[in-house]
Amino acid sequence: MKITAARVIVTCPGRNFVTLKIETDQGVYGIGDGTLNGRELSVVAYLEEHVIPCLIGMDPRRIEDIWQYLYRGAYWRRGPVTMRAIAAVDMALWDIKGKMAGMPVYQLLGGRSRDGIMVYGHANGSDIAETVEAVGHYIDMGYKAIRAQTGVPGIKDAYGVGRGKLYYEPADASLPSVTGWDTRKALNYVPKMFEELRKTYGFDHHLLHDGHHRYTPQEAANLGKMLEPYQLFWLEDCTPAENQEAFRLVRQHTVTPLAVGEIFNTIWDAKDLIQNQLIDYIRATVVGAGGLTHLRRIADLASLYQIRTGCHGATDLSPVTMGCALHFDTWVPNFGIQEYMRHTPETDAVFPHDYHFEKGELFVGDTPGHGVDIDENLAAKYPYKPAYLPVARLEDGTMWNW
């Protein structure tokens, strides 16, 4: 069995997606996701110029060997562009192997560890009252876990406050838009939101919050301490993780569970955090961490330290990644939760899939492969549109972490 062709499909049914399609001499094809929000064309160039020429003639069944070839064979390796290109190939190869075996990917990984996958949705509002109402809407839809974000008085376009109730795309302009940030204002306001949420809905539902790398370790520790009475499921990305040791300071001062990893690319980004038990959930993604082949290694390392998975699942990941993530979630023994931002109806039409939502959980089907396809004719109707993620500045103009 040989790979005979591979090509990249870029489509924008509401936001940009990069899809790799690998074809074989036996008529079986697989698709993978290589989307990098705001930097899509970088991945396209890497795939077309450096990866696809190497794939032609290879045996697609040799998933591990091809992964090592693309990773170890690149002297300049790691990084978001390289690992997303590898992930696109890896997903497509698992799709092919599943189709050849007549089995869904979760069976190839080792079979089910659970029936349904608990997911969390994104509730947000311009102020606390709107966020409380939005959380109630998600509870009414059957969600057991909800991430809550609110606008903060005096902060321009606070992170996590979307333009819609169900669909939110932060990459909003052909050049980066400028948002604001003020840590003190956030620290004074966010705990009040969770106090109101617990007063309104009690403690039966899981609540989550995203700090989005905005706080210093000491500020993050302060926030975690203030949120302890409200029993959060987790506080996400409380401080930048380039310095993994920074989480030690946070850990020393709060028992609020910590989650990080959506921008991680390899096991090395998480190694110290995991081995020193400085986090409770690892949020690396199938597309960001080099595909299923490498994400399994991260999860296995985490399991040794009782750290659970909580894969990133925003709309900057296509339904292909979501499908693969759900097969991973169905199998992985140390599963925690799965983020689930709903794609638009236009995106769902371009990427038909067999997973579905019911009573706060997502369920994968038994379609051979990962269960997600692409309608190329429909995809062609949505051409690429340049779109950048915003940037953030403090009130005095200082650049900050978006």
Domain ranges, ordered by start, for the chain: 3-104, 109-368
Residue type at 372 in one-letter notation: V
| Structural tokens at position 37 | 């929000």
pLDDT of residue 90: 98
Beta partners for 236? 210, 259
Which residues are catalytically annotated? 159, 212
Range list of β-strands (E), 238-355: 258-260, 281-282, 308-309, 338-339
The CATH number that domain 3-104 falls under is 3.30.390.10
In angstroms, rounded to a whole number, what is the distance separating the alpha carbons of residues 395 and 399?
A: 10
Handedness of CA 74, 78, 79, 80 (dihedral sign): positive
Q: Mind listing the pLDDT tens digit for each residue in 157-207?
A: 888 887 666 766 777 778 889 999 999 999 999 999 999 999 999 999 999
pLDDT of residue 375: 98
pLDDT of residue 387: 87
The CATH number that domain 109-368 falls under is 3.20.20.120
CA atoms within 13 A on the CB side of 131: 30
Element (H, E) at 87: helix 80-101
> What single string gives the DSSP state of each residue in 199-259?
HHHTTSSEEEEE-TT-S-HHHHHHHHHHHGGG--SEEES-S--SSTTHHHHHHHH--S-EE
pLDDT of residue 158: 85
> What burial class does residue 104 get, using C-beta atoms within 10 Å of its C-beta: 0-12 exposed, 13-18 middle, 19+ buried?
buried
pLDDT of residue 163: 64
Is 383 within 8 Å of 171 (Cβ atoms)?
no
pLDDT of residue 75: 85
pLDDT of residue 339: 98
Is 121 within 8 Å of 339 (Cβ atoms)?
no
pLDDT of residue 174: 80
Residue ranges of the chain with pLDDT lower than 70?
A: 163-165, 167-168
pLDDT of residue 76: 86
In angstroms, rounded to a whole number, what is the distance separating the alpha carbons of residues 112 and 106?
A: 7
Question: How many H helices and E strands in the chain?
Answer: 14, 16
Q: Mind listing the pLDDT tens digit for each residue in 271-298?
A: 999 999 999 999 999 999 999 999 999 9
What does pTM read for this prediction? 0.96
